[in-house]
Structure 1
Amino acid sequence: MKAVVRTNFDDSVSAYDAYEQRTGRFTALARLLAAEMATRADGPFASVLDAGAGTGVSTRVFADRAQRTVALDISREMLRELEAAPRVEADFDHLPFADGSFDGVAFTASLFLVPDPAVAAREAARVLRTGGVVGAVAPLGWVDVDGTDIFAALDRESRSPAGADEVEAALADSFAVTAGTWRFATTAADVRRFHAIPAMAARLYPNLAAEERVAKARDLLEGLEGTVEQRWRWIVGVAE
């Protein structure tokens, strides 16, 4: 599974950057998550681990708020796009850091990509100092004006390896958590751009090769029109 995730994101750098340049979605998520984490911290962040840093969109956000930010990702190709912070190629299940190394651990749009987020949550708890803060964001999907999942009529579910409820439950087992939902108006064209990212097209067609899954996703979403709502669950917890 980890090898598949790594390959998916190695193949996704250019499409990921194109989507972010068009929408600014991951920057917005990181800024909102950083704000929620800051309100629950017992002081300024000296050190933050950006777990699932990708090309560094979220790392740059947290670097503005912490003295030291470390970017960690399983994808070497993603990390190559980031030059402004220490980079570590590793996965969430075995964080290569000592106990109590960080004031904050942020999983901006990343923790739902592992099949067992509870393992990663325990690792986050281990590397956080007492009173440190963890934050995560997980997708709840896209709905039309009457609140119906846009994929309901397409006979296809856009599904992560781990759902938002599973991510929240995993963090709640290791932290005292607070959660909520963020809503973004987005266009049908941007839904298509999101699923043009090979790693995100895997939400629809996980068993197909990158180019084939992107093509299938494009065909599936071709008739989608207008404005829809994208929803994300946020979860913030404090280490005890």
Structure 2
Amino acid sequence: MKDAIKANFDASVSAYDAYERRTGRFAALARLLYAEMAARGDGTLDALLDAGAGSGVSTRVFGEAASRTVALDISREMLRENSGSPCIQGDFDHLPFADGTFDGVAFTASLFLVPDPTVAVEEAERVLRTGGVVGAVAPLGWYTDDGTDVFETLDRDSRSPTRTDDVEAALAETFAVSTGTWRFATTADDLRLFHEIPAMAARLYPRLSPDERVEKAVELLDTVDGTLEQRWRWIVGVSE
């Protein structure tokens, strides 16, 4: 599973950046997540681990606020695009840091990509100091104006390796959590562009090659039109 995730993101750098340039979605998620983490901690978020940093969108956002941000990602190709902070290729399940290293650990659109979030959450707790804060963002889907999930009308489910409810449950087992939902106005064209990212098209066609899955995803979504709403769940917990 992890090898597949790494390969998916290694193949996704240019498409990921194209989506971000058009929508600014991941930067917005990082800014909102940082605000929620800062509001619920003890006021100190100087040392922050950007867990699942990718090409650096979230790292740059966190770097504007935290004195020291460390970027960690399983994909070497993504990290090649990440500049301005220390970058480490690594696995959520085996964080290469000493106990109590960080004031905060942020999983911006990444914790739902691991097969067992419980292990990653335990590692996040280990590297947090007492009173440190963990935050995560996970997808809730794309919806039409009448509140219908786009994929309910299509012949395909959109699935993450781990469901959003399971991400929240894993965090709630270890931390006292606060949660909420963010809603973004978007379009059918943005939905298609999102699924031109091979790692995102894998939500629909995980067994196909990157090019094949993107082609199938774009074909599947061709009939979707108009404005949509994209929803994300946020979860923030404090270490005791």
TM-score, normalization by structure 2: 0.99
> Which residue number in structure 2 is paired with residue 29 of structure 1?
29
In structure 2, C-alpha distance between the alignment counterparts of 1:92 and 1:189, rounded to whole Å: 32
Q: Matches of residues 65-76 of structure 1 in structure 2 within 5 Å? A: 65-76=65-76
For the residues of structure 1 that align with 2:213 and 2:167, how far apart are their CA atoms?
25
The aligned counterpart of 2:231 is 231
What corresponds to 1:190 in structure 2? 190
Per the TM alignment, residue 126 of structure 1 is displaced from its structure 2 partner at its CA by 0.4
* 1:173-219 CA distance string (max 9 Å, x none): 11110000000110000000000000000000011110000000010
Q: Deviations over 1:25-83 (max 9, x none)?
A: 00000000000000012123120000000000000111111110000000000000012
Supply the distance in 2 between the matched residues of 1:43 and 1:189 (Cα, whole angstroms): 40
Q: Deviations over 1:96-140 (max 9, x none)?
A: 000000000000000000111111000000000010000000000
Of all paired residues, the percent bearing the same amino acid is 73
Offset at 1:223? 1.0
The answer for the alignment partner of 1:59 in structure 2 is 59
- Whether 1:206 and 2:233 are equivalent positions in the alignment is no
Alignment gaps of 5+ in structure 2: none
Question: What is the distance in 2 between the residues matched to 1:117 and 1:233?
Answer: 15
Aligned residues: 240
The residue type paired with residue 163 of structure 1 is R
> Offset at 1:8?
0.2
Q: What stretches of structure 1 of length at least 5 have no aligned partner?
A: none
- What amino acid is the match of 1:85? S
Would you say 1:113 and 2:91 are equivalent positions? no
Aligned to 1:4: 4
In 1: Cα distance, 2:236 partner to 2:38 partner: 10
Question: How far apart, in 2, do the equivalents of 1:102 and 1:87 lie?
Answer: 15
Residue in structure 2 matched with residue 129 of structure 1 by the alignment: 129
Equivalent residue letter for 2:122: R
Distance in 1 between the 2:153 and 2:233 partners? 23
Partner secondary structure for residue 32 of structure 2: helix
Name the amino acid aligned to 2:234: W
Matched with 2:90 is: 90
Partner SS for 2:134: strand
CA separation in 1, counterparts of 2:147 and 2:115?
28
Q: Please state whether the residue corresponding to 1:66 is helix, strand or coil.
A: coil
